Chain A
């Protein structure tokens, strides 16, 4: 009896140890990572549905996915980050609607002003520096696959909204987020940009006066599956 209980406890402890020390890459490689797999397939469907497919910024070696109105874009790396100052994923958006709504640019952190010369604000982060492995041609999708493989924690799924998301700043459950529909046939917002409003409002933005962006509560889910709501500046597009 004691032996049986011992074996069971040992099994559970081993399982616990295995899970505690499993690497993101190993986990992402598991066939059981259905969220990771569907993240790639749904991302593929989404970029296929775009009127203007993602383009490669040759200088920065980043893929750029722009909204149909061109006011916001999601960027992700295509090659290893050779220059440590570069961001691997980022969201860029037109500064003008926010300036018109009272934004004092001087109050923004420097990291947001990297593209200010082009009239844009940005927020992003560096990903892990594992080696990117391409079997064939480098495409927007194959580059996205590398993020899923190496930075699985950056990709999340929000059940209530049926959206995938990648956080470019902040935590996975909250922050600066680019979202896309898992199933575009049933989802009204096929791509969604959700900006963390704290910094912008802190810099003088009146949230009700930002044109082209909706300031509203957005349902979120943390990685343990708990649902909650947060304020975001949201820009959503239905691609079909």
Chain B
């Protein structure tokens, strides 16, 4: 299966998004297709054996939209020394232009600079500089310029264009509204009015003025007509269709009345001009669209912040010299130099030097971490105090930063289940609105015999019912919510995860590495009669040397501290959830929990009291048996994280049941639970049974979140309604989870839930206003109040203003999420 994200241009409302989803979804080989109207991107999963990407792009184009290619190109200005005449110019140009991937080259003899545009995928700056040098000139240090993202540029152009059109709309719309409305509104009679446009004295002037002022606005809004009518003719009307039908009806009717005035000399027709309605509606919608585009841009600021973390260049060691190259040109295996205060450009492994590295931007850990040769470094982190050289191991889209950005981008582009309602409604909304508009128009004409009243209702229903607010209600909140999460080091893998998290009423924490630091230490060594303490430690540590279990590692560390010699292991077997089975120097060793001893029928009575005492102190007693006879107990204790108790208190205050799951014995588990304030303990649970425990909780109709870090937590993370992996955990746990906490701080768990609750509350507010606006607006626009209570009829201009600002208000509400502050103290 292939997954692709395609940037789409030309969408104007949620109906467009739903249309593309339908068109693409119908293709054979498509597994899933979801369009995010806010990001204007299609996320599609497909079987590459059945369908190719160009086929998908073709159907998008056939449906009436554009596929925007993220065609990146880079431009550089290279100062050149040694050019003496115009011939040198053409020589340099020829040399550079022959390199594959160079799109254009222009050498200015006067400034002695070459401007080169090239595709960084095909051409490298090195080769360009080398070509200049080979031609006999000296290429000086490159003057940098940024990579150009066509999609981003297109969005910027679109916003500029929208503002330009809005300006035209406002410059012509305001005088149009003034000149056409002031004569009609008695309480505005104090306002000055040019006599030459008096509708009674000079109706033709009045008409020409309106046409003169309305025409540029209609031209500025021509996209509504080209897109709207095209969609209408395809029998799939969208928001533009509503505006196009509504305003064209107003213009056509006004033109007919103008004709009647001018050529039939029926001056009464001058009372029935609606040019200002069309003009002001278009101007208002343009203004709304411009504000919407700007506000939409703000919803993705989190991604921009993340992207801004990466440095633009890297200093590589090339043939023993330091060379600064664009970050895009760094290749795996290159050695990179970073001085104190510098940002690490790509992921890698330190080969030389020592330093402390600030990784707070990735992990949230505020203290710099000491780094030595062999340690990993990550892109965007900051080298604090030493010069280091490291070998690049991951570049471009493979770096940890790029992965995080991709994760956030994917989440922002994904849909939450709550969006489905909006999608369904907006899909059928426009045709229904068209029907309501026609029916109300006909009904009023039939009932009142008044063309103007009928036309007003027809236009107003079309204008007020534009479902744009409905389309952006969910995705914008998801974008801001996931972006805000990224700021706090909480990565939601998708809209669904963000939505489900708010429903969580039970949280199950893994103990080791989640509630505790995950770095247990040996605290007590208790021996059975006749067993030497050092011998017990030596044999146990030698046996555990091959184990990856944190408890085993603690014993190994203790033996190292005690400078015990590790003995060769003849046989080793890990018994999942129980312990290990090993043979050393002919001694058959079992090391593990009480269950293991029971299973192997090894009597533990001799040390049971000691074991209980240790467990009650929150320590984990590990039984050691030599040749099927109890040899002693090595107790290991893990330190509880500083924030665990606070996090659990906050969660309980939020009304969430907190449980702890561990393979540890019950007494130890209870002791830890007591320390952090957990009242429900699932102890002595084998790794393979963790998911069953989660299932049992789910069977109690609970929405369960599982928080864990280890490989053994993965099944439970998948089983839980929301799997939360902590960032210090294993790749498997992170892969299995729905939410990733980049830090190992449990306070991020309540933060994630609070953020999810805030986001969903925000979405519900948005949906409420979007629905309420349309469900209340349409009957009023259709004249229901007038029919029932002789109440007011909605003015089409006010409808346009309300419609435009409904989208802006929904977006503004979504942006309020940016002010989200979690409660992080108990």
By a beta-carbon cutoff of 8 Å, the part of chain A in contact with chain B is 1, 4-5, 8-9, 12, 16, 19-20, 22, 27, 32-35, 38, 152-153, 155-160, 162, 182, 221-226
Is there an interface contact between A34 and B197, defined as CB atoms closer than 8 Å?
no
Closest 5 CB pairs of A and B: A224-B183, A225-B199, A19-B194, A159-B268, A19-B196
Q: Point out which of A156, A160, A224 has the most chain B C-beta atoms below 10 A from its C-beta.
A: A224
Asked whether any CB of chain A lies closer than 8 Å to the CB of B271, the reply is: yes
Stretch at the interface among B203-211, B635-643, B781-789: B203-211
Asked whether any CB of chain A lies closer than 8 Å to the CB of B168, the reply is: yes
Asked whether any CB of chain A lies closer than 8 Å to the CB of B629, the reply is: no
Asked if A224 meets B194 with Cβ closer than 8 Å, knowing A9-B171, A34-B265, A38-B265, the reply is no
By a beta-carbon cutoff of 8 Å, the part of chain B in contact with chain A is 164, 167-168, 171-172, 175, 182-184, 186, 189, 193-206, 208, 261-262, 265, 267-268, 270-271
Is there an interface contact between A16 and B194, defined as CB atoms closer than 8 Å?
yes
A27-B196, A32-B205, A159-B267 known; 19 new pairs, CB 8 Å cut-off, are A5-B167, A5-B171, A16-B194, A19-B195, A27-B202, A32-B208, A33-B202, A33-B204, A35-B200, A35-B201, A153-B201, A156-B201, A157-B201, A160-B268, A221-B200, A224-B183, A224-B199, A225-B270, A226-B186
Asked if A20 meets B201 with Cβ closer than 8 Å, knowing A12-B175, A225-B270, A226-B183, the reply is no
Residues of B within 8 A of A225 (CB): 183-184, 198-200, 206, 270-271
Residues of B within 8 A of A9 (CB): 171
**Contact residue among A16, A20, A34, A162 (Cβ-Cβ distance under 8 Å from B203):** A34
Q: Point out which of B167, B171, B198, B202 has the most chain A C-beta atoms below 10 A from its C-beta.
A: B202
Select from chain A the residue with minimum beta-carbon distance to B188: A224
What's the minimum C-beta distance from B782 to chain A, rounded to whole angstroms? 26
Is there an interface contact between B198 and A224, defined as CB atoms closer than 8 Å?
yes
A222 to B270, CA, bound (A): 14
Is there an interface contact between B204 and A224, defined as CB atoms closer than 8 Å?
no
Is there an interface contact between A1 and B164, defined as CB atoms closer than 8 Å?
yes
Asked if A182 meets B171 with Cβ closer than 8 Å, knowing A152-B201, A224-B199, A225-B199, the reply is no
Residues of B within 8 A of A20 (CB): 194
Please, could you name 25 A-B residue pairs with CB atoms under 8 Å apart, sorted by A?
A1-B167, A8-B171, A19-B196, A20-B194, A27-B195, A27-B202, A32-B202, A33-B202, A35-B200, A35-B204, A38-B267, A153-B195, A156-B200, A159-B200, A159-B267, A160-B268, A162-B267, A182-B267, A221-B200, A223-B195, A223-B201, A224-B182, A225-B198, A225-B206, A226-B183
Is there an interface contact between A22 and B172, defined as CB atoms closer than 8 Å?
no
Residues of B within 8 A of A155 (CB): 201
Q: Point out which of B172, B203, B206, B208 has the most chain A C-beta atoms below 10 A from its C-beta.
A: B203
A9 to B172, CA, bound (A): 9
Q: Point out which of B201, B261, B265 has the most chain A C-beta atoms below 10 A from its C-beta.
A: B201
**Contact residue among A34, A157, A158, A221 (Cβ-Cβ distance under 8 Å from B262):** A34
Select from chain A the residue with minimum beta-carbon distance to B263: A34
Residues of B within 8 A of A153 (CB): 195, 201
What's the minimum C-beta distance from B157 to chain A, rounded to whole angstroms? 13
What is the predominant secondary structure among interface residues of chain A facing chain B? mixed
Q: Point out which of A4, A5, A19 has the most chain B C-beta atoms below 10 A from its C-beta.
A: A19
Is there an interface contact between A223 and B208, defined as CB atoms closer than 8 Å?
no
Q: Point out which of A8, A12, A27, A159 has the most chain B C-beta atoms below 10 A from its C-beta.
A: A159
A117 to B134, CA, bound (A): 118
Asked if A8 meets B168 with Cβ closer than 8 Å, knowing A225-B199, A225-B271, the reply is yes
Select from chain B the residue with minimum beta-carbon distance to A228: B186
A16 to B213, CA, bound (A): 13
What's the minimum C-beta distance from B390 to chain A, rounded to whole angstroms? 48
Select from chain A the residue with minimum beta-carbon distance to B174: A12
A222 to B201, CA, bound (A): 9
Select from chain B the residue with minimum beta-carbon distance to A1: B164
Asked if A35 meets B183 with Cβ closer than 8 Å, knowing A19-B194, A223-B198, A224-B193, the reply is no
What's the minimum C-beta distance from A115 to chain B, rounded to whole angstroms? 31
A210 to B489, CA, bound (A): 92
Residues of A within 8 A of B205 (CB): 32
Select from chain B the residue with minimum beta-carbon distance to A160: B268
A225 to B273, CA, bound (A): 12
Q: Point out which of A9, A34, A153 has the most chain B C-beta atoms below 10 A from its C-beta.
A: A34
A20 to B193, CA, bound (A): 9
Residues of A within 8 A of B197 (CB): 19
A27 to B182, CA, bound (A): 21
What's the minimum C-beta distance from B772 to chain A, rounded to whole angstroms? 36
Residues of A within 8 A of B164 (CB): 1, 4
A226 to B164, CA, bound (A): 35
A158 to B198, CA, bound (A): 12
Asked if A22 meets B183 with Cβ closer than 8 Å, knowing A34-B262, A159-B268, the reply is no
A8 to B169, CA, bound (A): 11
Residues of A within 8 A of B200 (CB): 35, 156-159, 221-225
Select from chain A the residue with minimum beta-carbon distance to B199: A225
Select from chain B the residue with minimum beta-carbon distance to A41: B265
A27 to B271, CA, bound (A): 21
A57 to B167, CA, bound (A): 61
Residues of A within 8 A of B189 (CB): 224, 226
Select from chain A the residue with minimum beta-carbon distance to B194: A19
Residues of A within 8 A of B172 (CB): 8
Is there an interface contact between B195 and A32, defined as CB atoms closer than 8 Å?
no
A5 to B267, CA, bound (A): 34
A19 to B202, CA, bound (A): 12
A152 to B205, CA, bound (A): 15
A9 to B202, CA, bound (A): 24
Residues of B within 8 A of A1 (CB): 164, 167
What's the minimum C-beta distance from A121 to chain B, rounded to whole angstroms? 29
What's the minimum C-beta distance from B173 to chain A, rounded to whole angstroms? 12
Is there an interface contact between A32 and B182, defined as CB atoms closer than 8 Å?
no
Residues of A within 8 A of B201 (CB): 35, 152-153, 155-157, 223
Residues of A within 8 A of B261 (CB): 34
A218 to B231, CA, bound (A): 51
Select from chain B the residue with minimum beta-carbon distance to A159: B268
A4 to B198, CA, bound (A): 29
What's the minimum C-beta distance from B174 to chain A, rounded to whole angstroms? 9
A71 to B199, CA, bound (A): 34
What's the minimum C-beta distance from B318 to chain A, rounded to whole angstroms? 46
Select from chain A the residue with minimum beta-carbon distance to B164: A1
A224 to B179, CA, bound (A): 10
Select from chain A the residue with minimum beta-carbon distance to B269: A159
Is there an interface contact between B196 and A22, defined as CB atoms closer than 8 Å?
yes
A183 to B197, CA, bound (A): 24
What's the minimum C-beta distance from B579 to chain A, rounded to whole angstroms? 75
A226 to B189, CA, bound (A): 10
What's the minimum C-beta distance from B185 to chain A, rounded to whole angstroms? 8
A35 to B198, CA, bound (A): 11
Is there an interface contact between A35 and B203, defined as CB atoms closer than 8 Å?
yes
Q: Point out which of B164, B194, B198, B200 has the most chain A C-beta atoms below 10 A from its C-beta.
A: B200
A33 to B206, CA, bound (A): 11
A102 to B737, CA, bound (A): 100
Select from chain A the residue with minimum beta-carbon distance to B198: A223
**Contact residue among B175, B186, B193, B267 (Cβ-Cβ distance under 8 Å from A157):** B267
A159 to B197, CA, bound (A): 16
Is there an interface contact between B202 and A35, defined as CB atoms closer than 8 Å?
yes
A226 to B168, CA, bound (A): 29
Residues of B within 8 A of A12 (CB): 171, 175
What's the minimum C-beta distance from B762 to chain A, rounded to whole angstroms? 35
A157 to B204, CA, bound (A): 13
Residues of A within 8 A of B196 (CB): 19, 22, 27
Asked if A159 meets B202 with Cβ closer than 8 Å, knowing A5-B167, A19-B196, A224-B193, the reply is no
A27 to B194, CA, bound (A): 12
Q: Point out which of A9, A20, A38, A157 has the most chain B C-beta atoms below 10 A from its C-beta.
A: A157
Is there an interface contact between A35 and B194, defined as CB atoms closer than 8 Å?
no
Residues of B within 8 A of A182 (CB): 265, 267
Residues of B within 8 A of A38 (CB): 265, 267
What's the minimum C-beta distance from A19 to chain B, rounded to whole angstroms? 4
Is there an interface contact between A159 and B270, defined as CB atoms closer than 8 Å?
yes
